[in-house]
A = this chain, B = another copy of it.
Amino acid sequence: MREVRYLLVGLGNLGRRFCEVVQEREDLLAERYGLTLKLVGAADSRGAAYDPEGLDLTTVVALKRGGGSIAQYPNAARDGWGALELVEAADADLLLEASPVNLEQGAEPGLSCIRTAMKRGMHVVTPNKGPLVAAFHELHTLAKAQGVQLRYDGTVAGGLPALNVGCRDLRGARVRMIEAVPNLVTGFIMDMLADGTGWEEATATARAAGVLEADASWDLDGWDAAAKLVILTNAILGADARLEDVDRAGIRAVTVDELQAALGRGERYRLVARTELQHDGSYVLSVAPVPLPVTHSLGRLGRKQMGVVYTTDIYGTITLIIDEPDPIPSSATMLRDLLDIYASESTLHDG
């Protein structure tokens, strides 16, 4: 039995649900992979707790479900510590960095936590797009130099292993195009607008459903899709794209008339993120609302579905779609990444 001592920074929906998923399948992880996961430290925006003997997941989940902070954790809360102090001081094998995207503040505190963890020899798993968009190559170079793993499959399209497939299963190919519908909320709102719901009500419904970010512009103006496209493009194509390289239009760029006309033709608008290979070998990145006919691989995505299409020279055209009825798959990507680091030799397939 191998014990993995991990830190968890960020205890919002993603972080808390990860704790619930892991707690529920302790036995499965032990039986299949011989792994025990021990949470030794955690931080939220109000404080941190650390106990080398391990924190109790039930207590952590109860605190957060009750609207409290990890800073109230009995006997293990650390006065004056934030996330960075925790990562600087704790003895752990791995950091799960699940704090919210925050590009305005230089992707902090996530970026500093990730750098510090890697410098201290920890592997890092993160579904947080901010640090990857802000410092993609710097973080990869640092991981290599430190001999640690950096995994971020959850940054794109929820629980869909879009990055994993793109990076591993397309090796050896020339990728001509990446097309993605990488979030749920923009399609959800455009469908409501097409059905006659007003803009205010549509965004309020999305917010109530928990799919619209606190900063609505992040989703509605295409920043979220652009960030995901930058990560996909850099990871899969070895490119050095930045957020400002994306020709970006959000869903406000389409009118209700256009949405309804598309619906009349049997088409649905989706916010499509696309990277296309040019004749000179460069790539052009764009995000825009596009009416997708039913004949398009992503043309029948429902409100709970996301997808990615890879057009390649030797592996044909590969389409990946996820049905994500609840936010669990997005949280579970952290388990996928963690097992990819610690259990990759346990599956039959990996021999």
Please give the residue numbers on chain A whose beta carbons come within 8 Å of chain B beta carbons, in ascending order: 21, 25, 28-29, 32-33, 140, 143-144, 148-151, 153, 158-161, 163-174, 234-236, 238, 294, 297, 300, 314-325, 328-329, 332, 335-336, 339-340, 343-344, 347-351
Contacts and interface: CB of A to CB of B under 8 A. Distances in A.
Contact of A28 (B148, B172, B315): B172
Given A167-B348, A348-B140, A348-B235, A172 B339 contact: yes
B168 A349 contact: yes
A140 B351 contact: yes
B172 A348 contact: no
A22 B316 CA distance: 16
A21 B167 contact: no
A317 B320 CA distance: 11
Number of copies: 2
A81 B313 CA distance: 36
A149 B351 CA distance: 6
B150 A316 contact: no
B319 A320 contact: yes
Given A172-B25, A172-B29, A351 B148 contact: yes
Contacts of A234: 348
A322 B169 CA distance: 13
Q: Which of A158, A161, A314, A344 has the most CB of B within 10 A?
A: A314
Nearest to A326: B316
Nearest to A343: B171
A314 B328 contact: yes
A347 B28 contact: no
B329 A324 contact: no
Nearest to A332: B314
A318 B28 contact: no
In order of increasing CB-CB distance, the 4 nearest A-B pairs are A167-B349, A161-B169, A317-B323, A314-B332
Given A172-B332, A314-B335, A339-B171, A238 B321 contact: no
